[in-house]
């Protein structure tokens, strides 16, 4: 009996340990750290493919993993805080848009976020599995009328700031109804003209034409293409509003006007935008003694706005945030990547450049900014009509008829952000890993056959 009890106690209190096999390191980490094939196993095997079995499985598991799990190997993002100067448009958005080769300070681009130590080149040997081309235009779109006025040289004192009406005549400017120094179409020294502020939608319009005016081309050497197709097949715009919808509301334009003027001033613009603060209700008198009558108003300082842009994303329907390559490519370090947007449609590209430029002149360049836009190139930016009866008659508040002239053109200001991003997702591998395949044709052929990887460098 005692033997039985002791045996039961031993069974009851005997520690229970279970030998657990040490887990293998994650395949993603192994390939990411540049694990090399085991040459001893390969040499011992009668078939090269048998010796590479586990290695090829790790590579296949890595390149076939969900795209979200792949690290971004290289990425460049241009941030523009408004439209660009003619020089910036010509250099950065000409026949080629080369984000990878731009470096950290491309002329005219406000800021650059880049992972590249050397512009245009991988720093390590890389298996490229996917690409991304993101366009992020300003999400808020609206247009406001106002006026353009000569940028003041210093602080404006009492009486120096002109009124900013919704409309004015040549006689209003000449007779001092807008301010003592207002000229343009009168006797004053300061330029003053009708203007418009386009916020946000110009950036959406730029994006729309960019993806149709350019091909996304990935070239190796001079004549070998990994891809060459219209950019819209790969471009993606992250959502700005609720998925599948946008909304309309009203916004005050005070801070937006200040942002635009600060930017234009920093770039050397001679003009500022003034929001409307008066409504013209008519005039009194005739001839040279005709004077406009204005009442104060804040009606035009709140505008209807659309959140979510012009819905570019639905125009790129089916495109995902990342585009996985049909075949991964092994690209050696120090070789120019060659992934660019290349112009393919001059009409679309010229329209893109026109709306991207401060001067709104497209491919001609050299225009002043902000520009004065008229209905036709042969219409000068002066007041319409003759200024004499019976052309353009206005019934005055004191019941007389007066011929009036108003501006034939408007000065165009643009505001809002635009961001463009180019990136590659995949895995880095060591130089030894790449050299071993380069120096062993049998290994290279076996890896290519088993993993469907292609070598994106001639002579690799």
Q: CB of 434 within 8 A of CB of 330?
A: yes
Task: For 175-223, write each residue's pLDDT tens digit.
Answer: 999 988 887 655 568 899 999 999 999 999 999 999 999 999 998 766 6
3 state DSSP class of 377: coil
Distances (CA, A) of 188 to 152, 179, 185, 383: 14, 9, 8, 16
Question: Residue 402: what pLDDT?
Answer: 96
- Is the previous residue joined to 67 through a cis bond, with omega within 30 degrees of 0? no
Q: Which residues pair with 89 in a beta bridge?
A: none
Q: Which residues of 146-166 are buried (b: 16+ CB within 10 A; e: fewer)?
A: bbbbbeeeeeeeeeeebbbbb
> Which residue matches tokens 């044709």?
441
- DSSP alpha helices (H): ranges in 118-253? 170-174, 201-213
pLDDT at 47: 57
Asked if 276 contacts 147 with a C-beta cutoff of 8 angstroms, the reply is yes
Give CA–CA dist 88/365, Å, rounded: 10
CA distance 26 to 42: 22
Residue by residue, DSSP assigns 283-305 as EESSGGG-EEEEEE--GGGEEEE
For the chain, how are helix, strand and coil distributed in percent, rounded to 5? 25, 30, 40
The contacts of residue 367 (CB under 8 Å, 6+ apart) are 86, 357, 359, 360, 361
- Flag whether the pTM goes above 0.85: no
Residues of the chain with pLDDT under 70: 1-55, 158, 184-188, 221-223, 239-247, 309-318, 362-366, 456-460
Q: Residue 137: in which H helix or E strand, if any?
A: strand 125-137
Helix 346-356, helix 201-213: angle, nearest 10: 160
Per-residue confidence (pLDDT) for residue 344, from 0 to 100: 96
What CA–CA distance (Å, rounded) separates 190 from 192? 6
pLDDT (0 to 100) of residue 94? 94
Token pair listed for 192 = 């003053």
């Amino acid at each position: 009996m005692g033997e039985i009890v002791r045996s039961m106690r031993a069974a009851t209190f005997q520690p229970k340990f279970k030998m657990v096999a040490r887990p293998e390191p994650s395949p993603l980490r192994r390939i990411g750290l540049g694990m090399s094939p085991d040459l001893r196993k390969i040499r011992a095997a009668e078939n090269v493919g048998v010796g590479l079995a586990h290695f090829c499985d790790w590579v296949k598991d890595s390149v076939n993993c969900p795209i979200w799990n792949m690290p971004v190997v290289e990425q460049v993002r241009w941030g523009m805080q408004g439209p660009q100067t003619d020089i910036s448009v010509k250099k950065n958005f000409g026949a080629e848009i080369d984000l990878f080769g731009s470096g950290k300070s491309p002329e005219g681009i406000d800021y650059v976020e880049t992972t590249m130590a050397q512009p245009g080149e991988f720093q390590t040997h890389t298996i490229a599995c996917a690409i991304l081309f993101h366009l992020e235009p300003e999400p808020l779109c609206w247009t406001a009328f106002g006026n353009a006025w000569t940028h003041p040289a210093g602080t404006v004192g009492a009486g120096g700031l002109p009124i900013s009406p919704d409309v004015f005549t040549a006689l209003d400017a000449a007779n001092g109804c807008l301010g003592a120094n207002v000229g343009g179409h009168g006797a004053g020294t300061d330029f003053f003209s009708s203007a418009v502020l386009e916020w946000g939608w110009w950036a959406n319009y730029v994006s729309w034409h960019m993806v149709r005016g350019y091909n996304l081309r990935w070239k190796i050497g001079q004549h070998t293409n990994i891809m060459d197709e219209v950019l819209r097949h790969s471009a993606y715009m992250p959502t700005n509003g609720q998925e599948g919808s946008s909304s309309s509301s009203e916004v005050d334009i005070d801070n937006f006007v200040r942002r635009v003027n600060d930017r234009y001033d920093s770039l050397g613009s001679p003009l500022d935008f003034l929001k409307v603060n008066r409504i013209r209700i008519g005039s009194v008198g005739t001839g040279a003694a005709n004077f406009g009558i204005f009442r104060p108003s804040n009606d035009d300082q709140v505008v209807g706005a659309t959140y979510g842009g012009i819905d570019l994303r639905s125009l790129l329907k089916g495109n995902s945030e990342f585009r996985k390559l049909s075949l991964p490519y092994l690209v050696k370090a120090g070789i120019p990547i060659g992934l660019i947007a290349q112009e393919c449609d001059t009409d679309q590209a010229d329209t893109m450049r026109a709306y991207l430029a401060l001067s709104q002149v497209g491919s001609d360049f050299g225009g002043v900014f902000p520009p004065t836009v008229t209905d036709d190139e042969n219409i000068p930016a002066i007041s319409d009509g003759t200024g004499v009866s019976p052309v353009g008659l206005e019934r005055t508040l004191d019941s007389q008829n007066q011929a009036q002239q108003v501006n034939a053109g408007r000065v165009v200001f643009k505001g809002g952000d635009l961001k463009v991003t180019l990136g590659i997702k995949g895995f880095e591998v060591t130089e030894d890993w790449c050299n071993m395949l380069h120096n062993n044709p049998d290994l290279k052929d076996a890896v290519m056959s088993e993993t469907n990887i292609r070598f994106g460098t001639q002579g690799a």
